[in-house]
Amino acid sequence: MAKEHLIGKGFESRPDDINRNGRPVGSKNRSTIMRKVLDMQGTLPDEMFEALKEIFPGIEKKMTFEEMASIAQAANAVKGDTAAYKAMMDSAYGAPKQDLEISSEVSVSTKITFK
């Protein structure tokens, strides 16, 4: 049974575009590629390095992209960006768990009969 609201949108209108074999063997998924990018070494531009050095005296000029992005996020948090602060805290300590407590005074009885 076709979903009427999807007809003419996507692969039903272009059945030859479907990759029936799936992802090619050896191709990398987005997560693998992103981890590789985050591990790449880089050098901060002089102007940026000097500006960040005022906020973070122990900063090094050469670092991974992950470190650079984290420092930039921290710099935004220091400037008052609460979303940047929350993202850093959640990343470092995990998002706070939200508990829901439900109490009730209702009493329920059930009769079970076996034959």
Q: What are phi and psi of 41, to 5 degrees?
A: -85, 145
Domain extent for 65: 29-92
DSSP lists the bridge partners of residue 64 as 41
Domain membership of residue 101 (yes or no) is no
Question: What gap in Å lies between CA 111 and CA 101, rounded to an integer?
Answer: 28
Q: Is the pLDDT of residue 20 over 60?
A: yes
> What does the pLDDT read at residue 11?
58
- pLDDT mean across residues, the chain: 82
Percent of the residues in the chain that have a pLDDT greater than 70, as a whole number: 83
Higher pLDDT, 110 or 55: 55
Domain membership of residue 64 (yes or no) is yes
Q: Is the pLDDT of residue 64 over 90?
A: yes
Domain membership of residue 115 (yes or no) is no
Q: Is the pLDDT of residue 66 over 70?
A: yes
Domain membership of residue 2 (yes or no) is no
Domain membership of residue 110 (yes or no) is no
As for how many domains the chain has, the answer is 1
